[in-house]
Amino acid sequence: MSEREGARQVRWAELKKMSWSEYRQMNLSRADIMQLDMLPGWYATRKRRRWLAGAGMFSLALQWINAAVSWAAEPDDGGNWIILTLLAVMMVIYLPAVTLMNIATRGLVELTERHLDERQVGERLRATTIAHRITTGLLAACFVTAVVAGVGGEGDYVVPERAVIMLIVALAMTHLVLPLIVSTWRLPDPLPDDEE
């Protein structure tokens, strides 16, 4: 058995007990790491995976709220503290949720196609299609909001620079993470083992 095949058979419990140098000697690839069952209680059932997807959606919503606050609030009125607080709360929710969703989907959105089977490639395409439709709706809503705000204002209406930056960050995060959220939401429970 080669060293590479032996590395794939390592379980998360064994990996936690290893020293850093032992772990580095195993030379695990991203695909190998995605196959480890890390914290399976967080994503073992469809209900829990949907909670994870909901946490991911909530963190994205916080970023969109952050963009709206940066548009509406003045920096002198404590707007900077509100923006930083929303950003901190968003990151505390976003980072663990995205990490666990990547592990739950076994790298469906993260890995290249050569590491996926036909079913996973098809699921990735479906998730990406649904996510792009949602993102198109968000872009249209942003456009309509900007036009309505510009038409309703008096004289030259200028969007604050930090609001534009926060909107770009919110759009980029949504574009990158929405396929992962959709695939986590749609992921079925594994088939039960036949006990005979």
Query: Model confidence over 36-73: pLDDT tens digits?
Result: 666 667 677 888 889 999 999 999 999 999 988 888 87
Helices 46-72 and 161-186, packing angle to 10 deg: 170
Residue in 186, 185, 187, 191 with CA at minimum distance from that of residue 51: 185
Residue 2: the pLDDT is: 43
Whole-angstrom distance, CA of residue 188 vs CA of residue 181: 14
Place of tokens 């996973």: 120
Whole-angstrom distance, CA of residue 130 vs CA of residue 186: 11
pTM of the shown model: 0.75
In angstroms, the Cα distances linking 52 to 49, 95, 161, 185 are: 5, 11, 33, 8
Q: 88-144: per-residue pLDDT in tens?
A: 999 999 999 998 888 888 777 777 778 777 888 888 889 989 999 999 998 999 888
